[in-house]
Every structure is written in C-alpha cells, then in structure tokens.
Structure 1
Amino acid sequence: MKVTFLGLGVMGYPMAGHLTKAGFDVTVFNRTQQKAQTWAEQYSGRASETVGDAVADADVVLLCVGNDDDVRSMTTSEGGALEFMKEGAILVDHTTTSASLAEELSEAAQARGIRFMDAPVSGGQAGAENGVLTIMCGGEQALFDDLQPVFEAYGKSSVLMGSVGQGQRAKMVNQICIGGVLSGLSEGLLLAEKSGLDIATVVDCLKHGAAGSWQMENRGVTMSEDKFDFGFAIDWMIKDLGFCLDEAQRQGLKLPLTEKVIEQYRDLSQQGDNRMDTSVLIRALRKEQG
C-alpha cells in the first residue's frame, strides 16, 4: 500500500515515521521542504516538492495541518490533493477542524470518486511520537475497516463515531473535557499550594483515585512549577474550542464553562503565552486571585 502524508508538524512528522516502520511505502509533503527532506533521510522515505506529485500514486492520503483553511489549501484548492488523486483512493483528514469542513470535503471527494474519512486524533505530541494516539473517525464502516492497518501504525485506539463529521464532533467533546479538567485541576492546585501541601505527594495520591486524569498525572506537578512548554499551543486550543462553541450554537446549547475557558486562553494568548501548553490555564486563575 502506498501512503502519502501531507503536513509534517509536531504530529504529522512522527505519525508518518511510524508508517514507514510498519512497512508502508511512504511519501511526504510539507510546505517547508527542508523538513520533508530531513524526514525522508531519517525514515528512508520519499519527499515530494508538490502536493500533486506526492499524491498521484497514493492508495491512501493522510493529512494533518493547522486549520480549516490549511486543509482546503492542501485538498480542494487549485493544485490540491483532490485534483491529482487517483479514483478509488482514500483521503483521511487527521486535522482538528469544523464538522462542516469534513462534510464539505466528503462531498468534494465523492465527486471525484475518492473515499473520505475525518479522523482527528488525541494524545498530543507525546502520543504521536510513541504511536499511541486515539483516533476519532467519521465515515463508512467498510472504509474504517480498510484503514485499520494504517491507523494501527500510530494509534492505540481508533473508534468509528458515526457518519462523516462525527469524528470531528467527538474531538470537540474531547477538547471541552480537557478544558474542564484543567480548570478544576488549576483550582485544586491553587488550594493545595496555599494550604502548604506538597504538590508531588498530592498528585501521586490523587491520580489513583476518582479525581485521577491524564492531565493530573502528566501536568499537575509541572503546572505547580510554572512549566508549560509541552507542544500543544493554546492558540490551537482556542481554535478547537471555537469549533465547540459554533457546534453548540447549531445544536441550541450554551456551554458556560467552555466560554469561560476560551476567554481565559484568549487573555493568556494576548499576554504572550500563545505558544504555551494548555496547562498554562492555571496562570489565568493565579491572575484572578491577584
């Protein structure tokens, strides 16, 4: 199976690497071509200078870039992947986007005889590097089944959530839950600090109980140490939570906690913390406390 990966950011670079380790014939494209060349040398793959060249012979084209407009530029715009992909090939978007974009891409792909699946991932940079991502999929069961060998190369779990767009909606739920957990964890850590508790001891105790979470186990201590350089910048979280609020509005829902969290992230971004990890949310609470 020939696989092409478009976008070699902190997620795509290791994900494409896992595909070569799994035995796939992998071609990559990245807008910064030197990065693609570096990847090709590291993993003995092939780097293409254009999207068209990268996808022309591919059975599966995987995409992980920044936002909706980035996806469109790689897929449906002039010179994008759909213009050059062969009939019967598969396009998978691992980018976190709006659900409406997933539906838009599905229609565009279908018009060219190409199968499409939206498949945003969770697990962050560490999950990508270790090949243990969670993949939330929207599309047909038969296509999901066909893609299992690919997903198994870099995923710990892949779940079909429903029709096209449902993968993105599941990712929205994921991001809302992360924001909520970090909000509660931040308040808890502030109380622990003020009460003179040893944070490492608290985290080691609580992570095994009902309050335990990935965020507590992996970010609790570093949050108390004011360390936030872990790869997933809050500017991306602001984008993701914006999708959540847009979808909630379409469903007639109000999400007050999510609205509060996105405003806190926006304030932090404007203060210069835009490249910090989502756990930097604790700084917003510290500021509110004066």
Structure 2
Amino acid sequence: MVKIGFIGVGVMGRPMVRNLLRAGYDVAVYTRTKAKVEAFLRETGVQWCGTAAACAAGRDVVITMVGYPQDVEQVYFGAGGILPAADAGAYLIDMTTTDPRLSARIYQEAAARGLHALDAPVSGGEAGAQNGTLSVMVGGDPADFDACLPVLRAMGTTVVYEGAAGAGQHAKMANQIAIAGALSGVCEALRYAEQAGLDTGRLLDSIGKGAAGSWQMSNLMPKMIAHDNAPGFFLKHFVKDMQIARSQPGAPLPVLELVCGMCTALEREGRGEDGTQALIEFYRAQGV
C-alpha cells in the first residue's frame, strides 16, 4: 500500500485527503493547528503528525497543499521541513498555487537529495476537491508524472502534464488570469442588470447557457444574486495568485491588473476570507 503524507488540511486539503482514503491510500496528515482539524481526525481516523518532517518520513509520497509561497518555502526548506526528512526515492507533490521559480528550486534541491518533485496546482475550488473532479496541472519529469498519476487521479479527473518543473504553476497562472476576466465580466453583467431593474434570476436563465456562459457565471452568479459570500475559494488566495502572475516576466496583463486592484481593495476592507464572488461587492459599493 502506498503511504502518503499530506501537509495542509484546510478547505481544499480535507476533501482531497478523503478522496485519497476512498482510493485506498494510507494517509497521515500535518497541519500547523491541530485543534482546527480535531473533528476531521475523529471522522477519518487518519494519523496526525506533529511536524512536517514527521509527516514526510517513511512515506512514499508527500503532498503539500498550504496557503502562500512563504508557507511552501517553510515546509520544504525550514527547520523540521520535508526535504531533509523524506526517504530517498520519495515523490514530493506540491499542489499549492505558488511561484514557478520556487517550484524549480524545490525540484533542484529534491533531485540533489535523490527525491522526485512535482508541482501540481489545481483548479476547481472546494466543490472540485469534494467531488474529486479537480483539474491538475503538473510540472516535473515525465517519468515522475507517470509514477504519481494514480495518486493524482484519486483527486482530479483532468490531470495534465504541462512540462518541466514550474510548468504546472505557469499553467495555473494562465488559469487564474482567465478567471480574473471571466469573474469581472460576470460582476459587470450582474451589476448592469441590477441597475436596469431586471429579474436577475431570469437573466441567469437567459444567458447562462449561451455564448456568455462560463463556470464563473453558473457557479458564482447565483451566490452573488443571493448576497452569499461564503468561500469556495478564498478571495485572499485569489489575490495571492494574481500577484504571483503579475510578478512573472512577460506581456502586459491589463485586465489582471485591474481585477487584482479591486480584489486587493476588498481584502484591505477585511473581505479576504470571503469567496471570490465577493468581487461583486466592489461594484455595488462603487455604484458601477
């Protein structure tokens, strides 16, 4: 039986662990605050480890799903981290959305230690994690991708090899850039309809399945209409992703810049733990 250490058991991590357990894997977990996962530990019976290093030791595969690039750096390179603790030959899969340059650094250090590293960020939000339907974008060596494919398919239905180390993160950046445009488009359409006095539920029925339709419209416009800002994906994490995309060399990203500015303003107002659909509140507050 493949033994997996899973580090980061939050909104996304918990359902991903459940799907690994359903697939028959032996999973141990680590998270910084045990109290936050006590109910999850009782429900699943998984072993909790006191450090990232303890979670990595003796495991065939180590998966990380943490919040920010600095968290990734800490769990891999910091005291009590993964790299010194993992057994030779182990596979390290970082599923956090992080900086492609950090993924390349992890890959290089892992290779020097006889370890196999993949960057494998995901798209699909909490619902995708719960249903095991995540889209997984993977960078690293092709042979390592093939070896880890069964594990990744336990959590996602679309698992694509993107290229060398860091390529998975670059693919995720492209995904987030596309979301920024789609999400802001949904907000503008809804705000226009509200100001025009339209029945917004009928509007969604009218345009949601046509050329204007998108995942953002189908899944988030109903929440916007209901003034439901509960997170499927935290606004603060979307801001983090957009800031990473902005920091990469390349062509100008004017739409991303605009949406990042709006979401950053909302985060400063204390809305960071709202869902990304809370972007509509920026439009409503501005009277746009």
- What band does the TM-score fall into relative to the shorter chain? over 0.9
Deviation at 1:189, TM superposition (A): 0.9
2:271 counterpart of 1:270? no
* 2:63 aligned counterpart, secondary structure: strand
* Alpha-carbon displacement from aligned partner over 1:227-273 (angstroms, at most 9, x marks no partner): 211232211111110011111xx12x211111111111111112222
Gaps of 5+ in 1: none
- 1:41-92, Cα deviation, whole Å (9 max, x unpaired): 3223211112222211100000000111111111111210111111111000
Indicate conservation of the 8 Å contact 1:122/1:134, yes or no: yes
Match runs of 1:137-148 below 5 Å = 137-148=138-149
Matched ranges for 1:26-37 at <5 A: 26-37=27-38
TM-score (norm 2): 0.95
Indicate yes or no: 2:51 matched with 1:50.
yes
Does the CA contact (< 8 Å) of 2:231 and 2:273 recur in 1? Answer: no
Count of aligned residue pairs for this structure pair: 287
Q: How does 1:83-162 map to 2 (within 5 A)?
A: 83-162=84-163
Q: CA deviation at 1:103?
A: 0.5
Structure 2 equivalent of residue 241 of structure 1 = 242
In the other structure, the counterpart of 1:41 is: 42
Residue 212 of structure 1 corresponds to which residue in structure 2? Answer: 213
Q: Is the 8 A contact 1:2 1:25 kept in 2?
A: yes
| Residue matched to 1:254 | 252
Cα distance between partner residues in 2 of 1:106 and 1:207: 42
Find out whether 1:289 has 2:287 as its counterpart: yes
Task: Tell me the equivalent position of 2:222.
Answer: 221
Distance 1:60 1:277, change over 3 A: same
Q: How far off is 1:212 after superposition? A: 0.8
Corresponding residue for residue 174 of structure 1: 175
Pair 1:193–1:72, CA change in 2 (3 A): same
Q: Structure 1 residues 208 and 231 mapped into 2: Cα distance closer, same or farther (>3 Å)?
A: closer
**CA distance in structure 1 between the aligned counterparts of 2:273 and 2:41, rounded to whole angstroms:** 27
Contact 1:76–1:108 (CA under 8 A) maintained in structure 2: no
Task: State the SS of the aligned residue for 1:212.
Answer: coil
CA shift, 1:36, in A, is 4.8
Q: 1:221 to 1:36 in 2, by over 3 A?
A: closer
Contact 1:8 1:35 in 2 (8 A): no
Contact 1:36 1:47 in 2 (8 A): no
User: Where do 5+ consecutive residues of structure 2 fail to align?
Assistant: none
- Following the alignment from structure 1 to structure 2, what is the Cα–Cα distance between the partners of residues 127 and 4? 21
SS at match of 1:147: helix
Equivalence for 1:192: 193
Q: Distance in 1 between matches of 2:213 and 2:275?
A: 20
**Mapped partners of 1:210, 1:231: distance in 2:** 25
Give 1:187's aligned amino acid: E
Q: Which amino acid aligns with 1:155?
A: G
| Identity level (%) | 39
- TM-score with structure 1 setting the length: 0.95
Q: 2:277 aligns with which of 232, 256, 279?
A: 279
**CA distance in 2 between partners of 1:87 and 1:272 (Å):** 44
Q: Give the letter aligned to residue 247 of structure 2.
A: D
Q: Deviations over 1:78-113 (max 9, x none)?
A: 210111111111000000000010011011111110
Distance in 2 (alpha carbons) for counterparts of 1:221 and 1:13: 25
Aligned counterparts of 1:102 and 1:166: Cα–Cα separation in 2: 9
Question: In 1, Cα distance between the equivalents of 2:42 and 2:265?
Answer: 41
- The alpha-carbon deviation at position 277 of structure 1 amounts to 1.1
Residue pair 1:89, 1:115 contacting (<8 A) in 2 also: yes
Residue 211 of structure 1: how far off its partner (Å): 0.9
Match of 2:83 in 1: 82
